[in-house]
Amino acid sequence: MGRVVYSPPQIPMKIRIERLPHAKDIPLPSYITPYSSGVDLRSAIDCTLKKGEIKVIPCGIKIAIPPGYEGQVRARSGLASKGIIVPNAPGTIDADYRGEVKVILANIGEEDFQIKRGDRIAQLVLARVERIEWEEGNLDETERGECGFGHSGLE
């Protein structure tokens, strides 16, 4: 098997970011590997996320997402394997939001979980979104039709 050589698929999009005073010493969100889909968001606080608890964790940054895009906040797989999830995943950061980026975390694990200031707590993926305009009328028929949840079986 040949060696894979990294070549960036495109020129990175520039996104304006503002570090808040309580996070001046925390690294900016960054890609951990050359092929990472998202940048890792970091906690701006120390806290304990107790078993069964949900908390909003500030990241100490504000960002300006361009129109036509959204920021999708997702769980990190390493944390999710310990029961630390983003319950509204993917959480959405709209293009016109200019407040502090915060992550909703839930502990569905068996033990309390310590979060230290600067820890990577979630990932942020930038995704294109389309605007829709409703066109009222009858829908086309499909083979699936109105079959909903579980329509294809459990296996």
The closest alpha carbon to 26, from 50, 66, 58, belongs to 58
Q: Which residues pair with 42 in a beta bridge?
A: 120
Which tokens go with 127? 């995704």
Which tokens go with 36? 């990472």
pLDDT at 25: 97
The closest alpha carbon to 126, from 93, 80, 88, 100, belongs to 93
Domain spans of the chain, in order of start: 16-128
pLDDT at 99: 98
Alpha-carbon gap, residue 142 to 134, rounded angstroms: 20
SS3 21: helix
pLDDT at 100: 98
In percent, the amount of the chain with pLDDT more than 70 equals 92
Angle at 26 between CA 40 and CA 96, to 5 degrees: 60
Mean confidence (pLDDT) of the chain? 93
Q: For residue range 22-78, what is the model confidence (pLDDT) as tens digits?
A: 999 999 999 999 889 999 999 999 999 999 999 999 999 999 999 999 999 999 999
- Domain 16-128: which CATH class? mainly beta
Check: CB of residue 17 under 8 Å from CB of residue 61.
Answer: yes
pLDDT confidence tier of residue 122, bands split at 50, 70 and 90: very high
Phi, psi angle pair for 150, to nearest 5°: 75, 10
Q: For residue range 105-119, what is the model confidence (pLDDT) as tens digits?
A: 999 999 999 999 999
pLDDT at 115: 98
Check: CB of residue 43 under 8 Å from CB of residue 115.
Answer: yes
pLDDT confidence tier of residue 104, bands split at 50, 70 and 90: very high
Check: CB of residue 131 under 8 Å from CB of residue 69.
Answer: no
